[in-house]
Structure 1
Amino acid sequence: MLQGFESATTERLLLRPFRDSDAEAVFALHGNPETARFNPSGPLRTLDSAKELLALWLSDWAKHGVGYWAVERREAPGVVVGLCGVRHKLFEGRTVLNLAYRLAPETQGSGYATEVARVAVEKARRHLPDVPLVAIIHPENTASLRVAERLGLKFERITDYEGTPSRLYVAE
């Protein structure tokens, strides 16, 4: 793992790399139609597809030393309530750090997304300053757009992402 990305804490949350044992948590989060409402590919349909997604994320950690974290509440460690972090992604012919944050419906509106995404952006700027950081957001996902703006990311343009016009935000 890249020094500085192993794990993190905020006032209310614990952030740690995903583990093999997190497949059911990934499925609960990504299989939920509400949390996947703005995902161009829709919700995951099977636990096996969650295991494939988890394997991709684990390979990010193995290859790059950085990836998405499982998000847990400090008062309830071991219960994954979301994901956040950055992962290397090939986007429009260049390698970028894709910022993602997705939280369980019962936590939405709590400010968790801003809290954890701020940590991810700060760590990316500190440890990987030469890799552009982006957030690709569905234009109707107003909560996610507000998080990107709170973090100081700047709207650059509309881009086609997996067949869906999306707003591209960049860190300066």
Structure 2
Amino acid sequence: MKSTPRTLAAVVTGVAAAMGSAAAPAVAVGTVPVPVPLEAAEKTLHMELPSLSGEIPLPKPGKPDGPQFVEGRLLPARTLPQLPITGGLPGAGMRAPVPHVLGTGFDHADVGVPASDLRTLSPGLSVDAPLTRPNPDHMGLPDTKLPEAGILAPVLQTAPGADLGTGPGL
């Protein structure tokens, strides 16, 4: 009688560990796998079709850098801060049968484009008012100056890659 709850606990723990390890690669990269089912078309056409799969990235917004106060300016340096967004480029995979076109040892060709990390920063804005800080020489009144405006350029960083291969078997 005591072994039944232990056995059930071991099975539940094993299933949870298996599901956790299967989900770990998708969570680590931030993508959701998308299989393309072609089995019904294979049965209908009585032929072997390529296998297709994909990965859709999950973008994650980050915490923007706050305004930076600079001495001599009335407004902060980054009035509209840049918003960082991390995610990934979509990945795809295709494996197609190639019946001995390349020789007797080659039965398939495959293309793999793994999901790659992507880091972006949205554009930002930096402006300064046409007034200076209060000037003690003019009884505390600010001086006038030319207004300043600047656009912080967006940033896009990634390193995509692809694999092309042939080999025996499917």
TM-score, normalised with respect to structure 2:
0.21
> Would you tell me which structure has more helix in proportion to its own residues?
1
Q: Whose Rg is larger? A: 2
> Would you tell me which structure has more strand in proportion to its own residues?
2
TM-score, normalised with respect to structure 1:
0.21
